[in-house]
Amino acid sequence: MSQYDFDLFVIGAGSGGVRASRMAAGFGARVGVAEDLYLGGTCVNVGCVPKKLFAYSAHYSEDFEDAKGFGWKLPEAVFDWPTLVRNKNQEIERLNGIYRNMLKASDVTIIDARAQFIDSHTLQVGDKQVTAERILIATGGWPHIPDFPGNEHVISSNEVFHLESLPKRTLVVGGGYIAIEFASIFHGMQREVSLLYRGEMFLRGFDSSLREHMAATIKQKGIDLRFNANVKDIQRQADGSLQVNLTDGTALETDLVLYATGRKPNLRGLGLENTAVTLDDKGFVAVNGDYETQDPSIYAIGDVTDTLQLTPVALAEGMALARRLFRPDDYVPVDYRDIATAVFCIPNIATLGLTEEQAREAGYGLKVYESRFRPMRNTLAGRGEESLMKMIVDKVSDRVLGVHMIGPDAGEIIQGLAVALKAGAIKAMFDATLGIHPTAAEEFVTMRTPTRTD
């Protein structure tokens, strides 16, 4: 018999933690998991899932407008926020139950409490102590709100899903995908929206063509987009509204301030000081390529480490670690190249592989293909909004290095192309592929003339 209660104990029942737990248990390990908040982690509860449900809801305002051009006469649509929140809550509760049942079916011991390290093999979990040969930290990230006068008046993406009512005016602060998505969501729900970013252009790390195109699209929709400014302080007014004073000397009034300026590893109260685990210079748990920390018995995956903060990445890491520890003959390292991702704003953004800037920095000679066009659905609707599709090709080998898109169903389209890039597709293969007509996706197989060539 082992001297420990568990072969593996997982702190955090989010996407990566649940996957690692179930896989390890399936390989015969004795597994326990501790979660003090909600099963499914950020993605299921205050991230991907509810966000996309809200994004679906926000899309309907444009759908109702567009329907008129196709012959539909509709009564005035009225949006009811409490109905959306109630139905969202029911769906999240259903998913929480599914996660619990999956863990139970895998014979994983679930403890609904926060875990804290006593030493490298011992945890205080609620009112009990447990020991484990190996311990996995999978506690994810937590929204970060900077310190400034009046920051007690703002909310984060955690709280936004539980608002009792949706204010008329909202200021979204940030320039990443969460900020862009919620600016689109609130605007789609027919609220006045301002989007504030401290830099010259939002969506840092995305292809420059996408960033510029999205900025123009957001402005066209009527969102108040402000660059090169930050919040100086926030003051509550007598009528309950908020006066937000900015660093550029201007001010605006709003009813809600949503901060989406990044997330930090959720490590509070874990007791890492009782272990040999170290943090890197960004505050992430330091791990090597096998997810090992400086403490030989402790591992970390997902958003607590300096990796791509995406649910599929955490899932892949959880699976890889379980195999490495308990089924090493089947171990396959995670391939972090060409990982597709999407931003569920309106319209959607999806990106895969290298941006044009990254490809040039890597020394490739390029052929760049770009296409801007009005989607077919927008013609009868009278909507002037354009889609953007872009392909980055290595001029020497003809290999497709990256594909990027802004437009309806961008995520669905780029997901399919991810398989092609993972298989090493060259541009000639795209050229030889017949498109499905009429679709937007066929544009990726009909691009013939590069817009730029090195």
Active-site annotation, residues: 437
Q: How many residues does the chain have?
A: 454
DSSP string, 418-431: HHHHHTT-BHHHHH
* DSSP tag of 337: T
| Strands 109-111, 31-34: pairing kind | parallel
Q: In what order do the strands lie in the sheet with 231-236?
A: 231-236, 242-246, 251-254
Point out which residues pair with 256 in neighbouring strands. 170
Locate 214 and state its tokens. 């999205």
Question: What is the C-alpha to C-alpha distance for residues 180 and 198, in angstroms, rounded to an integer?
Answer: 14
If residue 220 lies in a helix (H) or strand (E), which one and from where to where?
Answer: helix 208-221
- Residue 144, judged by CB atoms within 10 A of its CB (0-12, 13-18, 19+), counts as middle
CA torsion 351→352→354→355, rounded to 10°? -10
* Residues ≥6 apart with Cβ < 8 Å to 417: 340, 352, 403, 444
Question: What is the C-alpha to C-alpha distance for residues 309 and 313, in angstroms, rounded to an integer?
Answer: 7
* Residues ≥6 apart with Cβ < 8 Å to 110: 13, 32, 33, 35, 39, 100, 103, 104
